[in-house]
Amino acid sequence: MKRILSKGVIVQGLSHRYGDFESLRGVSLELVPGRVHCLVGASGSGKSTLLRNIAGLERPTAGSIHIDGQVVSNRNIQILPEQRNVGYLFQDFALFPHLSVARNIAFGLKSLSREQRRGRVTQLLQQVGLLEYEKAMPHRLSGGQQQRVALARALAPRPSVMLLDEPFSGLDTALRREVSEITLRLLRESETPTLMVTHDPMEALNCGDQISAMDHGEITQTDSPNEIYQRAIDAETARIFGPINELPVTKQGQQWHCQIGQIQPDWELYLREQSILIRPEMLRIEPAAGDAGQGQITRLNREVGGFLATVVTSCGGELFIRCGNEHSFDVGQHVRIRFVANAGT
């Protein structure tokens, strides 16, 4: 049977209120089949509200939502959640505790014969690697297994869009990687447009094909993981993805300068209005003799493959700098600071 591919989801100018609180302000977004779109932002920035609006669990105050080329929500139309054909993976999985694994997965399957339904359930159980748990009750499963059952249940009716609400936050680190790999592989294979909410920026950078950063109900930037990490639109957005150095800049003739020195032409893409935004790994430190150098290390945090050093510069500013294991540093040591050679990579 030839599958009709989903045409994706288009959200335009969506606004929503909880009483007096404006939880979404004119949000626009496009989800493409087979691609995973991640939403990141602080708690209360409106990520889950956007998901709930797309699912039809909330009613927007303005804007429109198209799923599969059909309007499901605008000023005049509000299609019920059960008629939207969306898959929703809840943070706590929300498995039906009174139904077995197989019956949980079969819950959303309609207009199929008993045999077809069985076939689909078996196929999904196989895909998520839980074939032997077909008859088990949800409370007998571990967190990771419950998550996979919830995924299989959401995928079973072949939804036009998949909405994931912090789907891996309940799992421990080791499980998280394994389960997220299975989940994203299945979603990409099934060509389902996916919107995933996460509060973990690393998860977004690893899982997403596109990332939108949200703040106070607005999308501040939508870009590829690399773009949004390296060239965030402002310091606030940049900070979501980890430490960032915001250095004031001055223009002398045709050249830009900051406290570390002159900024090369190929670095100008990191320039914002009166400053340059650079990640810790774009700077290097080297030991300086005696009290010489541009700064002094005040803190060293161990990371995989090196350290994150906090350096107070001679101008009084604080810089975050990532360094490998090639030099050994100590707190209180004086260092020289320089830009790494290749920018934008």
Partner 1 sequence: MVALPIAEILLYVGQPSDGTWEHLRETVLFRYVSNTVILALGVALATLLIGVGCAWLVTMCDFPCKGVLRWALLLPLAIPPYLMAYALTDLLQYSGPVQTYLREYFQWTKQDYWFPEIRSLPGAITILTLSLYPYVYLAARTAFVTQSLCVIEASRTLGAGAWATFFRVALPLARPAIAAGCTLVMMETVAEFGAVDYCAVDTLSTGIYRTWMSRGSLEAAAQLSTCLLMGVVVLVAIETGARRQAHYFHTTQRYRDMEPWKLGRLGGAGVSVICCLPLLLGFVVPASIFIGMTLEHGDRRAWELMFELASNSLTVALISACLVCLLALMCVYAVRVTGSKITRVSNYVTGLGYAIPGGVIAIGVVACLLRWETWVIDLCQYLWGWSPGLFLSGSMVALLLGYQTRFLAIGLNLVQSGFARIPPSMDNVGSTLGATPLQRLLRIHFPLVRGSLLAALLFVFVEVIKELPATLILRPFNFETLAVRVYQLASDERLPEASTSALIIILVGLAPVVILSRLIDRSRPGLS
Interface residues with partner 1 (CB under 8 A)?
55-58, 80-88, 90-92, 94-99, 107-108, 110, 137-139, 153-154, 157
Minimum distance of partner 1 from residue 157's CB (angstroms): 6
Minimum distance of partner 1 from residue 65's CB (angstroms): 14
Across the strands, what pairs with 321?
Answer: 309
Minimum distance of partner 1 from residue 217's CB (angstroms): 18
Long-range contacts (CB closer than 8 Å, 24 or more residues apart) made by 307-312: 308/243, 308/280, 309/285, 309/335, 311/285, 311/335, 311/337
Which runs of consecutive H residues, i.e. helices, occur in the chain? 47-55, 101-106, 114-127, 143-155, 173-189, 201-207, 225-230, 235-240
Minimum distance of partner 1 from residue 71's CB (angstroms): 18
Q: Which is nearer to partner 1, 143 or 317 (CB)?
A: 143
Q: Which is nearer to partner 1, 59 or 177 (CB)?
A: 59
Q: Which is nearer to partner 1, 54 or 205 (CB)?
A: 54
Q: Which is nearer to partner 1, 96 or 298 (CB)?
A: 96
Minimum distance of partner 1 from residue 110's CB (angstroms): 6
As a whole number of angstroms, the distance between CA 269 and CA 343 comes to 9
Q: Structure tokens of 116? A: 């077809």
CA neighbours closer than 13 Å in the CB half-sphere of residue 104: 27
Q: Which is nearer to partner 1, 95 or 282 (CB)?
A: 95
As a whole number of angstroms, the distance between CA 60 and CA 173 comes to 35
* Cα 44–chain centre separation: 15
